[in-house]
């Protein structure tokens, strides 16, 4: 089987990969925050639960923004073509 469309696909850029990693990081920590909220339902008061969830979500936002920022390094600097002199 030969799929010509597959041959012309471009690889994702580093900023696209960075966005995917940042969103994945955020959603993993969001799931951790939801599990922590549910686990603390019967043992802790509402204020303590909200503090724990807020700390986890703050870590998630800060981590995903830093991953996105450092992965999108911008466009690489292109050197001008070498001039040949004889």
Would you say residue 38 lies in a domain?
yes
Q: Is the pLDDT of residue 68 over 70?
A: yes
Q: Is residue 80 part of a domain?
A: no
Give a yes or no: residue 11 inside a domain.
no
Token pair, residue 75, equals 């466009």
Query: Residue 54 falls within a domain, yes or no?
Result: yes
The phi-psi region of residue 74 (left if phi > 0; otherwise alpha if psi is between -120 and 50; otherwise beta) is left
Cβ-Cβ contacts under 8 Å for 73 (sequence gap 6 or more):
14
Q: How far apart are CA 34 and CA 56, in angstroms?
A: 10
User: Which residue's structure tokens are 């580093």?
Assistant: 14
Residue 26 lies inside a defined structural domain of this protein: yes
Q: What is the pLDDT of residues 8-52, one digit of tens each?
A: 566 666 667 778 888 888 899 999 999 988 888 878 888 888 899
Count of structural domains, the chain:
1
Q: For residue 53, give its domain range.
A: 22-71
């Amino acid at each position: 089987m030969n799929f010509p469309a597959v041959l012309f696909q471009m690889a994702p850029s580093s900023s696209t990969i960075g966005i995917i990693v940042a969103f994945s990081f955020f959603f993993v920590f969001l799931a951790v925050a939801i599990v922590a909220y549910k686990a603390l339902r019967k043992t802790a008061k509402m204020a303590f639960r909200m503090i724990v969830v807020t700390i986890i979500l703050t870590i998630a936002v800060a981590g995903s923004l830093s991953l996105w920022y450092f992965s999108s390094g911008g466009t690489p600097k292109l050197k001008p073509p070498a001039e040949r002199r004889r």
